[in-house]
Chain A
Amino acid sequence: KQEVTQIPAALSVPEGENLVLNCSFTDSAIYNLQWFRQDPGKGLTSLLLIQSSQREQTSGRLNASLDKSSGRSTLYIAASQPGDSATYLCAVRGGETSYDKVIFGPGTSLSVIP
């Protein structure tokens, strides 16, 4: 059964810092991995999608990497801003027993202090 973990559970940084969020998954036979942002009481905003054949994806100040063989992904946020404060969720799709299900990690709660 696919399991997804995220470290750290919470993170508080001063504005301007670069930071890294980590995601690990147990079944490496995935189709893709997606990073989401969720603001309190709101739905999901898709940030980046990495296919299983890709190593990284970039969008603005965000860069996500994928090492499928080791079951790891990182989300790098450059020059953090208070508006980046939210919960960041890693989600993997696929797996030998999960097929096309999307399984979420527990999330990292980020707070960027002005």
Chain B
Amino acid sequence: GAVVSQHPSWVICKSGTSVKIECRSLDFQATTMFWYRQFPKQSLMLMATSNEGSKATYEQGVEKDKFLINHASLTLSTLTVTSAHPEDSSFYICSAPSRWDTEAFFGQGTRLTVV
């Protein structure tokens, strides 16, 4: 069964609104979670590393004020796309490794469409 649950699986929102995506580790505690974005016909690009109890680490070129990350507990990380624009439409997926030497588990992904 799924060990990482991501919600919602798809969302449509109006330009200028904010959207929150949740990522939960179900069977283990994750002090670190990763957020990725995938544009059509492209690969997954790491956006940021979510750290429980401290600030997220953003990859170069990712706006931290636009993509707010909160790692509220050892099993939950949220990504909020603020003031969404059509160019933010993408597939967002989270990952939580249970240990450094195991496979990384991925959520089901969230398809965001901004109209």
Chain A residue nearest to B95 in the complex (CB): A102
CB distance from B46 to the nearest CB of A (A): 6
Q: Say yes or no for B106: interface residue by CB 8 A criterion.
A: yes
The B contact surface, by secondary structure, is strand
Judging by beta carbons under 8 Å apart, are A89 and B44 in contact? yes
Known A32-B101, A93-B104, A94-B100; judge A105-B32 contact (CB<8 A): no
Specify which of B46, B95, B100, B101 lies most central, judged by the most chain A CB atoms within 10 Å of its CB: B101
Quick one: CB contact mask for A31-61 with B, threshold 8 Å, 1 for yes?
A: 1101000000111101001010000000000
Q: Size band of the B side of the interface?
A: 20 to 34
Chain A residues with CB under 8 Å of B49's CB are 101
Given A42-B109, A43-B109, A101-B46, 6 further pairs, Cβ under 8 A: A31-B100, A41-B111, A43-B93, A49-B102, A105-B43, A106-B42
Give A residues with C-beta under 8 Å from B: 31-32, 34, 41-44, 46, 49, 51, 89, 91, 93-94, 100-107
Give B residues with C-beta under 8 Å from A: 32, 34, 36, 42-46, 49, 93, 95, 97, 100-104, 106-109, 111
